[in-house]
A and B are shown apart, each in its own frame.
Chain A
Amino acid sequence: MTRTEWKQIGKGLAFCSPWLIGFMVFTLIPVVLSLYYSVCDYSLLQPPAYIGGANYHELLDDPIFRKSLTNTLLYAIIALPAGLMVSLGLALLLNVKVAGQTFYRTVIFLPSLVPTVASAMLWMWLFNAKLGLINTVLDWLPFRLLIAGINAILGLVHLPQIETPIGWLTNPAWALPALAFMSFWGVGHTVVIYLAGLQDVPSELLESAEIDGAGMTRRLWHVTLPMLSPVIFFNLIMAIIGTLQVFAIPYIMTGGGPARATYFFTMYLYDNAFRYLKMGYASAMAWIQLLIILALTAIAFWSSRKWVYYQGK
């Protein structure tokens, strides 16, 4: 390498250095240290004492760890696909050229701008079993009839009936689905990304399909969705990461209750780290969480070869 090239590298690194230093100090070093702490007994104020794989071994035997992991996966199973479908559906509707399109787009995006704590407080009132708007609406005659119908079907197959008014956040059976339902409140960001993706769907392909006699559904299925698949893939990856790290909303709204029905992985991690002062144990949990997210992301990447289409290829 010539002297000029070295100089240029030096300059480049100098310009990058604020980020590089920030990344090293605030991300890389803590990540590496957390791996070390995960094999230590560490309480922040006592020096870390090496204990090998004891934290990981203890975690495998910990019923609360299993409960929090199960809750998180259940939440992801409900919130992730439903969230992707709801946001995609909204984006498709908002892409239709109608009067007031910008207004509708703004309305859908608006909830994403509400701070987390404010949203949580608002939804706590909406979910209030006695005074909440949701149960008030469900008490209207058509919904009462609908619930009676569902109960009749449930009764036929000997399944538990829906008790009204529903204790959205106080009934262990409803609390987790309620939080998953609430997650749709923040789909605005995903909708915007889908909308941007929809503008990139080649109009000539849609026109060709239309000339060939394809209806709206076939155009959606055979042209729009394949062309949108890289965006869906991106949103899927972000949703996997987001849903498996769910923390703030349940922490504020339910505190993990009732009876740990909404006690998620990250909440148990937080409690171990900052309330029980078991940093080593919490670090081991963080690494397990990372591995789970990594594995699910890897599966998504592997599967993407079969369903994600890039225009350039």
Chain B
Amino acid sequence: MHYIRTTILTLLGLTALAVMAFGGRSVESHKGQVVVTYWEKWTGKEAEQMQQIVNDFNQSVGQQKGIYVQYLSMSSVDQKTLVATAAGVPPDIAGLWNSQVAQFATINAVEPLDDLAAAHGITASYYKPVYWEGCRFNGHLWALISTPATIALHYNKRLMLERADSLRKAGLDPNRPPRTLDELDRYAQALDMVEKTPNGQKRIKSAGYLPMEPSWMLTYIPYWFGNKLFDEKTQKLTLTDPDIVRAFEWVKSYSVRLGKDSMTEFTNGFGQFASPQNPFLVGNVVMTLQGPWTANYVEDLKPSMNRWKFPKEKEKGMSVEERRKNYEWGAAPFPSAVPGLTDVSYASFDTLMIPRGAKHKQEAFEFIAYVNRQDVMEKLNSLHCKNSPLSQVSEQFIRNHPNPYISVFEELARSKNARGVPPMPIWPEVADELGVVAQRVYLLQAEPKEALQDAQNRLQEKYETFLERQRLRAKS
């Protein structure tokens, strides 16, 4: 008995010693430096690339100004930031998403950055308007950007040439992408490869285009039909506007044309976006709506698509136009449904925000300002394969960018028809609901008008309740 007790006590003692010796530390020791904690969402390669930027800062500006940025990559960074902020121990910088700017600003989860940005010369003219507006809510600046993106039509040039006969038969040019939505539908139909099974069923082998691939873009389809989803002046959602109904009718038209069951059977076999079974990479779909990061994913998952005509090394010193010839795929603005409405895109971005109660706001902003320096921003977004949020972009950035079509995304980001998420604090809930509307529509479970009416009624009521409660809070 005595021995058992001694053993247990010794083990407990050793555990305690081990915890003291190797357990958690509040911060690394950086004598004379202010340690800024930075939590970010990225994992894998993207996390390492941001780590490079952090290291650059720590070795340059950080050293001069006595700041050390401690970078921590994690999943569910938004939830962890929120809980830590509520507990009074937030990170100094949090890397969140654009849809959270209004949401976090409304509940007072982040610090306004107006004064800090102005002191560093970061004003509206420094950014492309769509991104600057996306960082603002209720007259204040709440975030700055780390990596932004716009989305565009990606098309497989090789498959278009392979199916050139059917394109020509439909009076379409296999050497260029569609320019109007009507043309996109005709291209899609001409590029479809459908066969009949012995029992007379339709089996899709490859589709020209599917609006639901990838499904996460469906929420923003109304932008290409000329609608903003939300009227800021009246504070009303516009989900039942004829443009949006038309947008979802268009989504439905693909299920009707291809047959819901055949289409579901076909899409069932699709792999995930970041996998070698990505439907665009394996040729399941010839055209898709994607962001500039596609070039990086192709490079990782199917590098042959980035080396169509000659080895990569030969690209050095070539013009962008020449480089593009080496890519099996191309990118162009996604065509709009409205005549005259050009260069429409959804502009998304990753943000850098300072949570409320952060201990080192000034120092945190030093890092945010560093990331927003043109050279640093271009380095980061070349690594992440995205465009720049800044109004000034160097020629080098366009020429050396891993995506030879980056100028397409740059132009889209500058367009007056580029739109971010609607500035409403309950947007995450609205976006989820619109995703379900799209699913109901393409599964032919509901008519677009009916599904949108349901969503409009429910969400508008939720939003009004939310606003009313915020007003009551403000009064008390």
Contacts and interface: CB of A to CB of B under 8 A. Distances in A.
Contact of B107 (A46, A63, A260, A275): A46
A44 B428 CA distance: 17
A172 B445 contact: yes
Contacts of B476: 49
Interface in B438-476: 439-440, 443, 445, 454, 458, 465, 469, 472-473, 476
Interface string B263-275: 0111111000000
A258 B267 CA distance: 13
Interface string B93-109: 00000000001000111
Contacts of B76: 274
Interface residues of B, number: 34
Interface stretch (A28-36, A124-132, A235-243, A285-293): A124-132
Interface centre among A41, A131, A259 (most CB of B within 10 A): A259
Nearest to A274: B79
B86 A44 contact: yes
A200 interface: no
Interface string A46-82: 1001010000001000111000000000000000000
Nearest to A61: B461
A303 interface: no
Interface string B352-375: 000010000000000000000000
A163 interface: yes
Interface string B259-293: 00100111111000000000000000000000000
Contacts of A46: 107-108, 473
Contacts of A271: 429, 432
B251 interface: no
A45 B107 contact: yes
Given A44-B107, A277-B107, A170 B267 contact: yes
B193 interface: no
A275 B86 contact: no
A277 B261 contact: no
Contacts of B454: 63
Bin chain A's interface residue count.
20 to 34
* Residue of A45, A171, A274 most packed against chain B (CB within 10 A): A45
A130 B465 contact: no
Contacts of B103: 277
Interface in A145-176: 163, 165, 167, 170-172
Interface in A214-258: 257-258
B472 A49 contact: yes
A43 interface: yes
B108 A258 contact: no
Contacts of A259: 436, 439-440, 443, 445
Nearest to B451: A259
A260 B465 CA distance: 24
A41 B469 contact: yes
Nearest to B268: A129
A51 B469 contact: yes
Contact of B83 (A41, A44, A128, A163): A44
A23 interface: no
Contacts of B77: none
A130 B263 CA distance: 12
B436 A275 contact: no
Interface string A266-297: 00000100111100000000000000000000
Nearest to A124: B272
B426 interface: yes
Nearest to B427: A276
B269 A276 contact: no
Contacts of B443: 172, 258-259
A275 B264 contact: no
A258 B264 CA distance: 11
A170 B86 contact: no
Contacts of B465: 58
A165 B266 CA distance: 10
Contact of A45 (B79, B108, B432): B108
A117 to B, nearest CB: 12
B265 A130 contact: yes
Nearest to A129: B268
B469 A49 contact: yes
Contacts of B432: 271, 275
A277 to B, nearest CB: 6
B195 to A, nearest CB: 15
A131 B271 CA distance: 10
Nearest to B469: A41
Nearest to B445: A259
A129 B83 CA distance: 40
A260 B458 CA distance: 16
Contacts of B469: 41, 49, 51
B469 to A, nearest CB: 5
Contact of A130 (B107, B269, B440): B269
A129 B445 contact: no
B108 A165 contact: no
B429 A63 contact: no
B82 A170 contact: no
B123 to A, nearest CB: 28
Given A49-B469, A274-B79, A163 B85 contact: no
A173 to B, nearest CB: 10
Contacts of A171: 264
Given A51-B469, A58-B465, A277-B82, A165 B265 contact: yes
B86 A260 contact: no
Contacts of A129: 264-265, 268-269
Contacts of B108: 45-46
A275 B428 contact: yes
Interface in B337-386: 356
Contacts of A64: 458
A130 B268 contact: yes
A176 to B, nearest CB: 15
A170 B265 CA distance: 9
Given A49-B473, A259-B436, A259-B439, A167 B107 contact: no
B439 A258 contact: yes
6 contacts: A45-B109, A45-B356, A130-B268, A167-B268, A271-B432, A276-B426
Given A45-B107, A258-B439, A277-B107, 8 more contacts: A49-B469, A129-B265, A130-B268, A167-B265, A274-B82, A275-B432, A276-B426, A277-B82
**Nearest 5 CB-CB pairs, A to B?**
A130-B269, A129-B268, A259-B439, A43-B107, A41-B469
